[in-house]
């Protein structure tokens, strides 16, 4: 009888152990439609979360290989997304909203960055003699891409000062080339993002005009992720894996300046001292539709679009 009792107890223990093991065993990871994706990214401090995710292996953990492709701005990524040359691309939101307003099948699929004090600036050469917006009349202003965040914010500044966008000539120049073109006087002013803003200022080469993110543009969302509708429909698991990895990196960037500083020298080609002095905005972990609506409203106000845009229709479900 004792032998039978011991046998029953052992069997019960085995059943309980098996049940407990089954409870804690993680479910299998979903099979990704694509294991390698090309992601268009602008080489600025806004994009730090992508490089943090690469550095910490968050994409690898999801079974994903991400190949960054440097672009000058979101508008450049749009045709590449629609032709499958890129899978996901950085957007300044304006690029996506403009494309959708023209009937192109794109959606915002994630947040990246939000402006903060000193994260963007309108700069002139040290000896240019340009000290105010009024001095820009008839001058050439460099922006990373036409009809994007840069031109919208500078246009808003000019109109606040009683001027028009047509009072200046916008020239498209990649961020890494702007400081050199200012020094060589190929352009008169430039709308710079970090870390190029700090790099040029710390070397005594530039002087600020005003802060383009002041006043009503403060805390504006400036960077996110976008993808083509057809690509999202064909690759839902791949997109979800990318979003999970980026969400982890956003949390790291939001909570640790040191982690952001650690990736800037490698990916932005600056030294550690400049990285430590770089002004950083916020790295939101989710899309804020109320803030995004401000972007859409500014676009209508400054005639980037000819009708009101509801951002709810511009953001992919679940992003």
Q: Does residue 111 belong to any structural domain of this protein? A: yes
Does residue 154 sit in the same domain as residue 280? no
Do 288 and 225 share a structural domain? yes
Where does a domain end: 217, 236, 258?
Answer: 217
**Strand 221-228 relative to strand 140-143: parallel, antiparallel, unpaired?**
unpaired
Do residues 244 and 293 share a domain? yes
Q: Total structural domains in the chain?
A: 2
Judged by phi (left if over 0) then psi (alpha if -120 to 50, else beta), residue 318 lies in left
The verdict on residue 16 lying in a domain is: no
Q: State the CATH number of the domain containing residue 83.
A: 3.40.190.10
Give the model's pLDDT for residue 24: 56
pLDDT, the chain, mean? 88
Element (H, E) at 233: helix 229-234
Separation CA 275–CA 266 (nearest Å): 10
Q: What is the pLDDT of residues 63-78, one digit of tens each?
A: 999 999 999 999 999 9
Structural domain includes residue 73: yes
User: φ and ψ at 284, to 5 degrees?
Assistant: -65, 145
Residue 303 belongs to what domain range?
36-115+220-314
Res 32: pLDDT: 96
Residue given tokens 């698991």 in the structure block: 237
Residue ranges in the chain whose pLDDT is less than 50: 1-22
């Amino acid at each position: 009888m004792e032998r039978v009792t011991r046998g029953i107890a052992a069997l019960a223990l085995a059943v309980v152990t098996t049940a407990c093991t089954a409870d804690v065993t993680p479910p299998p990871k979903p099979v990704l439609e694509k294991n390698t994706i090309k992601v268009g990214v602008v080489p600025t401090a806004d994009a730090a979360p992508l490089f943090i995710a690469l550095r910490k292996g968050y994409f690898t953990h999801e079974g994903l290989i991400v190949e960054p492709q440097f672009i000058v701005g979101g508008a450049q990524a749009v045709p590449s997304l629609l032709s499958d040359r890129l899978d996901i691309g950085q957007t300044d939101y304006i690029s996506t909203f403009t494309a959708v307003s023209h009937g192109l099948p794109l959606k915002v699929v994630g947040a990246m960055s939000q402006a903060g004090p000193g994260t963007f600036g309108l700069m002139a050469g040290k000896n240019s003699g340009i000290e105010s917006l009024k001095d820009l009349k008839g001058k050439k202003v460099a922006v990373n891409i036409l009809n994007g965040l840069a031109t919208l914010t500078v246009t808003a500044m000019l109109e606040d000062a009683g001027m028009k966008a047509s009072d200046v000539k916008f020239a498209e120049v990649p961020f890494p080339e702007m400081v050199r073109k200012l020094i060589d006087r190929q352009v008169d002013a430039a709308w710079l993002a970090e870390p190029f803003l700090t790099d040029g200022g710390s070397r005594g080469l530039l002087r600020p005009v005003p802060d383009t993110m002041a006043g009503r543009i403060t805390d504006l969302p400036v960077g996110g992720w976008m993808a083509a509708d057809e690509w999202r429909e064909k690759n839902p698991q791949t997109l979800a894996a990318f979003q999970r990895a980026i969400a982890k990196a956003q949390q790291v960037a939001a909570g640790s300046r040191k982690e952001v500083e650690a990736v800037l020298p490698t990916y932005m080609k600056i030294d550690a001292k400049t990285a430590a002095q770089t002004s950083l905005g916020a790295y939101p972990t989710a899309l804020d539709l109320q803030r995004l609506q401000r972007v859409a409203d500014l676009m209508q106000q400054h005639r980037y679009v000819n009708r009101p845009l509801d951002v709810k229709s511009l953001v992919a479900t679940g992003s």
